[in-house]
Structure 1
Amino acid sequence: MALIDDYWSDDPIPRGTCVVIGGRGFVGRWLVFRLLKLRRWVVRVADSSQSLQLDPSSPLDSALSQALSSGRASYHSVDVRHRPQIVGSIEGSSVVFYLDVEAAHDQDFYTCYMNIVQGAKNVIDACRECKVKRLIYYSSADVVFDGSCDIYSATESIPYPSKYNDMWSELKAQAEALVLFANDIDGLLTCALRPSNVFGPGETQFMPFLIKQAKSGWTKFIVGTGENMSDFTYVENVAHAHVCAEEALDARSVSVAGKAFFVTNSEPMKFWKFVSLILEGLGYQRPFIKLPVMMVHYILLFGEWLHKELGVTKHNHMRSSHYVVSSASRTRTFDSSAAREQIGYTPAVTLEEGISRTVESFSHLARDPSYMDYTNLSEQSKADKLLGSGKVADILLWRDEKTTFTCFLTLVLLFYWFFLSGRTFISSTALLLLTMTIVSLGYGYLPSNILVRSIHDLSTRPTTLKMNHQLCALIRCGFSVPVASPSCFEIEENLVRESIRSIVYVWNRGIRVSRLLARGEDWNIFLKAAAYLCFLKFVIARHLTTVLGAALVFSFTSFFVYEQYEAELDAIVKVVLNRTRRLKGQVLRYFPIYVGSLLL
């Protein structure tokens, strides 16, 4: 970010006074800086803080400090929930830029409603009372998104959703509607701006959250396919759009007053590519593991249920976890051509340059280069080696979500068929073979091409316009039945040999163990064999179904989790083993030497 010059030497006479409510927030700081740089206004900065705290190292605060000392700016402490305070700060001004107070995500509904909706009502009433001419509201593109479906190049004609999944978007939509409805009442002209995914230096929510997750290792995951597109807006462009909107309202443009405008960088990008560019720029690993959206939602539902069952109190979040997941996995692009044509807005900073500046501004939170990356994708993971680095490894490590989910669903159905259906194992096997035989027989009788036969039936009849449409539909939607070759039912000779070798190895090993037990010389093997047989008898007799079900779930989750956290889990296992050895050594001190030798 370039340093500022002294903009206030030989300044022209300002044309009036403007007020930036929420001027110490993320976007508010940049808007104040933009207004001061233009040298057209005396700027009143209004915010909820009781006193103004300036950072000398920040170029934005440095510019404000110079303006305060020269009389081109002033600061007012304002609580938007109290109308008299607003009146005192905007009296005598001609323009008000209203940016909501940036509230914490764990605030309750009442506090959020008072800050956003009631705050908008109070600002509107104060503007009408003080004869303010123009009011520009900082809204959000989220007011038209409910998380249920994708949005492609939406224009301002898109309606508000009938139901919202998060409290913040609903309250912002109510506040925006109030501002637009107040247009041209008592001489007040209003409009609203809807930026999408605002980012940039000084951002206080998304970037710190992303870096925190990156440090804890959670940014390895992609929610969904990773192909969803999103629009982003660099913060300087948002400030520029506010200035453009004020100038358009000053010209009393009928096409601007009482309207809302989408404001973006007009460069849609894959959401997860944007995240990857930010993370890689700061030295963190980019996301690479794709998680199905429904699986993430079910995990969140399970977490909510668990909190409820355990009686753990949770704060009311402005934005629910489900909404965040939907935002990260849905396509959300917006057409900002109306802002370009009606208010004269064009992005001043490109998306590439904005990302570069943002990464540079957060360089103090970059990853320590001395910290070794334990997750090197070029190296084979321990979990992959343990599973043989073949098809089994690809399935259990979720390399292909569709294949893994299909295998898991198939095994669940087989588990239900053999263990939970209430039939005996022999009956279930016989019924399964019978079903497979009937299905195979029916498959053999299917025609090789269902489409051709259906078209032939239609073509032999007198054609009409309606039937021709049906014929075209069949041509588009028809399908052919692939013929199963005999090789599909054959087993490779190498596979049979490997299987027989494995069986022989297990058999021979069992024979060797049996010989050692028969000699009665190795008590260690005897104790292990006895414990193993007792455990096997207990499992088979009482809890075989439970153990198999747990093993099924464990196999599809444990290896996947272990691959993501190898270093952490290995460190935990190492600590546990060391503690166990120490404890074992302390216990053996109290036993005779010959007993200790048997236990060792």
Structure 2
Amino acid sequence: MEVDDRFLELNTKTCVVLGGRGFLGRSLVLRLLKLGKWNVRIADSANSLELDPSEHDSLLSDALIAGRASYFHVDVRNKDQIVAALSGSSVVFYMDYEDSHSNDIYLSYMFIVQGAKNVINACRDCKVRRLIFNSSADVIFDCSRDILNGEESLTYPWKFEDMLSDLKAQAEALILFANDIDGLLTCALRPSNVFGPEDTRLVPFVVHQAKSGLAKLIIGNGENMSDFTFVENVTHAHICAEEALDFRMVSVAGKAFFITNFKPMKFWQFISLILEGLGYRRPSVKLPCKVVWNVLLFMKWIDEKFGFNKYNHSTWAHYIQLASCTRTFNCSAAHKQLGYSPVVSLEEGITLTIKSFSHLRKELSLASFTEFTDESKADKLLGGGRVADVLLWRDEKKSFTCFLASSLLFYWFFIRGGTFISSAAQLLLSIIVVLYGYGFIPPNIYGFPVQKLSVTAFRQSDSVVRDSIMTLACLWNRGVHNARALARGEDWNYFLKAVAVLYLLKLLLERSLTMMLGMGLVFAFTAFFVYEQYEAEIDEFAKFFFIGIMELKRLLASHLPTPLMSFLCCDRVPHQATVSKR
């Protein structure tokens, strides 16, 4: 056993993982340590290495104690720090730096482009043999066209919509151009939509949108395809690239390779699986991409106009582009030249990712358990009967039929022309003629049976008639009671409300009764359905609006004269006294 350990020590090589504490860097460090043939130098921007609670008593912790792993503080803008970390190593894996994702153009340029130049020069000074750069599939995407089964022959776009993709493409070009200079061999990997445990971008961003309610929206038609890559497959591809660069230099050196899971899927299907796995609803409401893009441009203009800087517009723009475009890539070159194949399937990767983000899972409250068993607020407002089923679109065919019939009646009485009485008379006459003609239709026409209407179809039971009359009587009595209360002046608040409603109704009717009824028809068949879908968000907005109204009322009351304020506060006393006497 001692002989084996000594032999292993003699054959151990030293590599450096630049950005070793980032999302991809951590996964690569663990994979290198598992292979057992590497001394791993972890280089990152933090002044010292601080292990997470989950990393104590782990493979990394043991490797640090045994000396198989070490940490270097490196700022890629400082070449001397890079040289100190690279000295004596044979391979450099250049991963993402978290610091590079900033809205500051100059800072991003210094980290990505100037950092790439410094890494190249440091590798040449330290006689490093191989440099593998973690690039991105975004470097050949210009946001203006879909990419279907894209290959490495695709060129860089003339213009990028995303600043970070532009800078990343410049860094990749510099590293590939540096191939075979002073004995340095380079290559670049272009993973597409990397995800996995400890993801710091895609999954947290999607969950954040789900918590805000925006993840219910589907940007575009929802049919666009995308390639996703599990994090362990990306790190495995880096190991394959290093080995291929060592043995098959001509076919690998100076080239870039797309890395995916070999299994494209609909972008919104992937998002739905992640959200559903974490307890959120699947996206369901489709919005045209142009509408979303115009809203984003408007919000950007508002922020620039008033200096809010509330939203990260570049992140949103990149997400919209990913969410609405097809982007799939051909990985046959990576499979053939690097020997790469996914080690974790897409389905398993999604399952592992969901499991790792259990802390972001939606909290299950009592409302969550009753959401599908108890009736919604919209259902309660509508009485939970047939009307509720129609207006909430429980049966789409039935609801559409009712909407179409209501629209035809609206056209017949209000748009077609003529008085209400003449329209009603013509409608009744048409119904009588149709029913009379329907009675002469034979029960069978060319083999197709014709269902006849029975006489009982036009009859109503005594209980239905009695309930209808009682409902009308109750409404009449309630109206008389309210009118009597208004006439006696028992409740001035109620009187003012009634006057305001009647005056508002007068203004609306003066404008256009037809337009108001048409808007009411559309409102009835859409508002309740929308409210049921976004009940929590609308209730939150209504609560905020109500608090604002009450605050405004308080401010107005504080500025009213004292006698008028006393009169308004005491207007209920006579009414309460009358009630108590009764």
Match of 1:181 in 2: 177
C-alpha contact (below 8 Å) 2:391/2:524 kept by paired residues: no
Matches within 5 A, 1:448-597: 521=487, 530-536=499-505, 562-570=531-539, 576=546, 588-591=568-571, 593-594=573-574
1:26/1:202 contact within 8 Å kept: yes
Contact 2:392 2:529 in 1 (8 A): no
d(CA) in 1 for partners of 2:349 and 2:218? 23
Percent identity over the alignment is: 55
Q: AA paired with 2:335?
A: R
2:35 maps to which of 26, 33, 38: 38
What TM-score does the superposition give when structure 1 sets the normalisation length? Answer: 0.70
Alpha carbons of 1:236 and 1:539: their partners in 2 closer, same or farther (altered >3 Å)?
same
* Residue matched to 1:417: none
Q: Distance in 2 between matches of 1:212 and 1:232?
A: 20
Which secondary structure state, in structure 2, belongs to the residue aligned with residue 373 of structure 1? helix
* Amino acid of the structure 1 residue aligned with 2:36: R
Q: How does 1:292-331 map to 2 (within 5 A)?
A: 292-313=288-309, 319-331=314-326
Q: Quick one: structure 1 residues 597 and 374, their matched pair in 2 at CA, closer, same or farther if it must change by over 3 Å?
A: farther
Q: Which residue in 2 is equivalent to 1:212?
A: 208
**Structure 1 residues 313 and 550: alpha-carbon distance in aligned structure 2, compared to 1, 3 A threshold:** farther
State the Cα distance separating 1:30 from its structure 2 match.
1.0
Cα distance change of structure 1 residues 519 and 93 upon mapping to structure 2, 3 Å threshold: closer
Q: 1:357 aligns with which of 338, 352, 362?
A: 352
Aligned mates of 2:533, 2:6 — CA distance in 1: 58
CA offset digits 1:309-368 (Å, max 9, x no partner):
434235776x34222112012111111110000011011111111111112222233233
Separation (CA, whole Å) in 2 of partners of 1:545 and 1:117: 64
1:51-450 matches, cutoff 5 A: 51-58=48-55, 62-103=58-99, 105-313=101-309, 319-373=314-368, 376=371, 381-383=376-378, 388=387
Q: Note if contact 1:140-1:193 (Cα within 8 Å) is conserved in structure 2.
A: yes
The Cα shift of 1:100 comes to 2.7
Match of 2:14 among 9, 17, 28: 17
Change (3 A) 1:170 1:370: same
1:29 match: 26
In structure 2, distance between residues paired with 1:320 and 1:520: 58
| C-alpha distance in 2 between matches for 1:180 and 1:578 | 60
- Range moving further from structure 2, 515-524 or 271-280: 515-524
CA deviation map 1:534-560 (0-9, x unaligned): 335556779999999999999999667
What is the CA–CA distance in structure 2 between the aligned matches of 1:549 and 1:148, rounded to whole Å? 41
Aligned residue type for 2:48 = S
Deviations 1:248-301 (A, max 9, x none): 111142111111000111011111221222222222222222222222222222
**Which deviates further from its counterpart, 376-385 or 225-234?**
376-385
Shift of 1:123: 0.4
Distance 2:530 2:481 in 1: 40
Match of 2:64, SS?
Answer: helix
1:392-432 deviation digits (Å, cap 9, x = unpaired):
766xx9x99xx9xxx9xxxxxxxxxxxxxxxxxx9xx9xxx
How far, CA to CA, are the matches of 1:299 and 1:555 in structure 2?
27
Whichever residue aligns with residue 206 of structure 2, its letter is L
> 1:97 aligns to what SS in structure 2?
strand
User: Distance between the aligned counterparts of 1:301 and 1:549, measured in 2?
Assistant: 33
Specify the alignment match of 1:498 in structure 2. Answer: none
Match of 1:416 in 2: none
Equivalent residue of 2:111, what SS? Answer: helix
CA distance in 2 between counterparts of 1:520 and 1:96 reads 86
2:99 is paired with a residue of what secondary structure?
A: coil
On the 8 A contact 2:142/2:161 being kept in 1, the answer is yes
Q: What SS is found at the alignment partner of 2:29?
A: helix
Cα RMSD between the aligned structures? 4.5
Cα 1:557–1:23, aligned 2, differ >3 Å: closer, same or farther? Answer: farther
Task: Give, in whole Å, the separation in 1 of the partners of 2:52 and 2:504.
Answer: 67
Deviation for aligned residue 1:594 = 3.7
Cα distance between partner residues in 1 of 2:486 and 2:176: 91
Task: Name the CA shift for 1:20/1:562 in 2 (closer, same or farther; >3 Å).
Answer: same
Once residues 23 and 520 of structure 1 are traced to their aligned partners in structure 2, the CA distance between those partners, rounded to angstroms, is: 77
Cα separation, 1, equivalents of 2:106 and 2:573: 72
TM superposition shift of 1:36: 1.2
Partner secondary structure for residue 47 of structure 2: coil
Contact kept, 8 Å, 1:196 with 1:264, in 2: the verdict is: yes
Render the CA deviation track for 1:361-398: whole Å, top value 9, x for unaligned. 2223323344532794677754578685588766xx9x
Higher helix share: 2
What is the CA-CA distance between 1:516 and the residue it aligns to?
A: 9.1
CA-to-partner distance for each residue in 1:47-106, whole Å, 9 max, x for gaps?
1110001125238x8212211222212111100001111111111211111113113744
1:536, 1:224 → 2: CA distance? 40
CA distance in 2, matches of 1:547, 1:221: 30
* Change in CA separation of 1:593 and 1:316 when aligned onto 2, cut-off 3 Å: closer
SS at match of 2:186: strand
Do 1:267 and 1:351's aligned partners in 2 also have CA atoms closer than 8 Å? yes
CA, structure 1 residues 244+383, in 2 after alignment: closer, same or farther (shift >3 Å)? same
Three-state SS of the structure 1 residue aligned to 2:153 is coil
Q: Distance in 1 between matches of 2:311 and 2:361?
A: 30
State how far apart, in whole Å, the 2-side matches of 1:68 and 1:297 are: 48
Per-residue deviation, residues 429-452 of structure 1 (Å, max 9, x unmatched): 9xxxxxxxxxxxxxxxxxxxxxxx
Tell me the distance in 2 between the aligned counterparts of 1:280 and 1:519.
54
1:161 to partner: Cα distance: 1.6
Instruction: Give the whole-Å Cα distance in 2 for the aligned partners of 1:254 and 1:81.
Output: 31
Cα distance in structure 2, aligned partners of 1:228 and 1:557: 28
Return the letter of the residue paired with 2:185: L
Q: Which amino acid aligns with 1:291?
A: L
Q: Quote the offset at 1:39 in angstroms.
A: 1.6
Distance in 2 (CA, whole Å) between partners of 1:301 and 1:18 is 45
In the alignment, structure 2 segments of 5+ residues that lack a partner are 405-414, 418-456, 458-470, 558-564
Q: What is the rounded CA distance, in whole Å, between the counterparts of 1:112 and 1:557 in structure 2? A: 47
Partner of residue 490, structure 1: none
1:556–1:50 distance in 2 versus 1, CA, 3 Å = farther
CA change 1:544–1:14 in 2 (3 A) is farther
CA deviations 1:115-166 (Å, max 9, x no partner) are 1111001101111122111110000111111222221111111121221111
Contact map agreement 2:100 2:107 (CA 8 A) in 1:
no
**Hey, what's the Cα distance between the residues in 1 that align with 2:515 and 2:566?**
36
